Amino acid sequence: MTEHHNTTYGNGKGEGQPVGIALLGLGTVGAEVFRLLNEYNADFTQRVGGPVEVRGVAVSDASKAREGIAPELLTEDAHALIQREDVDVVVEVIGGIDYPRELVLAALRAGKSVVTANKALVAAHADELAKAADEAGVDLYFEAAVAAAIPVVGMLRRSLAGDKIQRISGIVNGTTNFILDAMETTGASYEDALAEATRLGYAEADPTADVEGHDAASKAAILASLGFHTRVTFDDVHCEGISAITAEDIQAANQAGYSIKLLAICERLTGEDGKESVNARVHPTLVPKEHPLASVSKSFNAIFVEAEAAGSLMFYGNGAGGNPTASAVLGDVVGASRNKVHGGRAPEENTYANLPVADFGQTQTRYHIDMQVKDRTGVLAVISSVFAEQGVSLRTVRQEEGKDGARLIVVTHAATESVLDGIVRALEGLDDVHAVNSVIRLS
Ligand code: NDP
Ligand code: HSE
């Protein structure tokens, strides 16, 4: 069989030359990246075409004892490590936005390729980072930034580059899926499930990013940008988390045949004038039990892609944790290192389509509204009229005896978000409605 990997283009170091790695961060992800870089080193040499050598590891506290790592490799000066002449590829697994932005820009401008798992950074500063990588002619890889081990970034960048993506949706945050799954299947409390997800290394350094949906929103921004060839940033994504979801919501959903999942949904929309726009949003969603997303348990992620020619594709796998994330990081390290040895660059992100981001209010959705109402004749007619006035029809209505009056659970047919939101405001103002307990969208 012919081996092609000896080819070296103009800007390659040449077959057999070592590739120097600067590892920034040695936490949940960095420690696994370091361990596997050593364990698979002989294989990586073959795959890359030259030895892959770690030059140093930046941490916040170099005096802390670390198992399996020579103390002389550790440094608190990440900037100096990046600038070393024998460093070719910088791996950023520190987290946060401002400091890693500084480091990644410095690395790219110094001609180093960068691999990062940092979705918050990429979703906030993608244009600036891509420009710096282009100007320096180096690679910027971020496979691990979305859904950890699931190779969805590479799939959108390469495999589906010849298709037209209509929709990308799914579960992209392991921590919140772990929490919702534990609350539903074992009756665990929200607090206990979050503590366990943190202990297992799934949660962000500040888990607010997980539970308030920010982490999933960053991932949605990245997926939408890649899928629609349009820059979508974190600020463009409508974002609601799971911190308001109660055990009662989960029980009610369960009784009605649904699981509650935090979904990221990225859609291409076509207006009445034929003009296209895009939309990206993250919110808790009721998923019918028979839908494949309902059975995605623990910290697993699953992503559906609908493309015009390919049809529907589903990707499933480990969405968080040190080991699965290290797999994605190391795939990128091998790619970036190979390009350093043989020359050439990875496929770039292309935002040529530059579609407008549609207002969230225009999104079509369906609501599941759980409310506490007066237990008197005619209440149902009053409530129904609020929907009818806005031209929204009801799919199901369920009434139960409540502690204080009756509990009414209504599922609507599809309408725009702004109309449905207006209906909820109107319901809250009715004398007959004691409280709107929860409003959850349906998939
Ligand atoms: P951790 O908090 O576990 O680790 C962070 C590491 O960065 C630590 O080693 C820490 O040093 C180091 N660090 C912090 N500040 C500095 C600094 N100023 N200079 C140098 N080093 C510093 O984070 P994770 O490993 O969980 O996450 C890292 C990145 O990977 C984040 O962007 C996260 O979003 C992303 N990611 C995480 C996943 C996961 O499942 N955990 C999955 C996918 C992506 P020290 O050891 O001294 O404290
Ligand atoms: N905190 C993230 C999650 C890590 O729970 O999904 C993986 O990106």
pLDDT tens for 129-155 read: 999 999 999 999 999 999 999 999 999
* pLDDT grade for 91, boundaries at 50, 70 and 90: very high
* pLDDT grade for 356, boundaries at 50, 70 and 90: very high
Measured from CB, residues less than 6 Å from any atom of ligand 1 are 24-30, 58-61, 64, 78, 93-95, 99, 117-119, 144, 148, 201-202, 204-205, 320-321, 325
Q: Are 184 and 259 in contact (CB under 8 A)?
A: yes
- Which atom of ligand 1 approaches the CA of 215 most closely? 34
Query: Domain map of the chain by residue range?
Result: 19-148+323-342, 152-318, 361-442
Res 6: pLDDT: 52
Kindly give the residue spans of alpha helices, DSSP state H, lying in 229-264. 247-255
CB of 212 sitting under 6 A from ligand 2? no
Asked if the 19-148+323-342 domain carries CATH number 3.40.50.1820, the reply is no
- Which atom of ligand 1 approaches the CA of 209 most closely? 34
Of all protein residues, the one whose alpha carbon is nearest to atom 7 of ligand 2 is 320
CA distances from 325 to 8, 57, 322, 330 (A): 30, 18, 5, 9
pTM: 0.96
Fold of 152-318: Dihydrodipicolinate Reductase; domain 2 (3.30.360)
439 forms bridges with which residues in the sheet? Answer: 369
Write out the E strands in 59-136: 74-75, 89-92, 113-116
Q: Which CATH number applies to 361-442: 3.30.70.260, 3.40.309.10, 3.20.20.10, 3.40.50.620?
A: 3.30.70.260
* pLDDT grade for 7, boundaries at 50, 70 and 90: low
Largest pairwise CA distance in the chain = 84
Here the tokens at position 275 are: 């003009």
**Cα separation of 321 and 248, whole Å?**
29
Res 9: pLDDT: 61
* pLDDT grade for 188, boundaries at 50, 70 and 90: very high
- Which of the residues are catalytic? 219
Res 1: pLDDT: 36
Mean pLDDT of 228-244: 98
Q: How many CB atoms lie within 10 A of CB 189?
A: 12
CB of 175 sitting under 6 A from ligand 2? yes
Please determine, for residue 20, whether its predicted confidence score (pLDDT) is greater than 80: yes
Written in H, E and C, the secondary structure of 116-167 is ECCHHHHHHHHHHHHHHHHHHCCCEECHHHCCCCCCHHHHHHHHCCCCCEEE
Q: Which pLDDT tens digit goes with each residue over 391-437?
A: 999 999 999 887 778 999 999 999 999 999 999 999 999 999 999 99
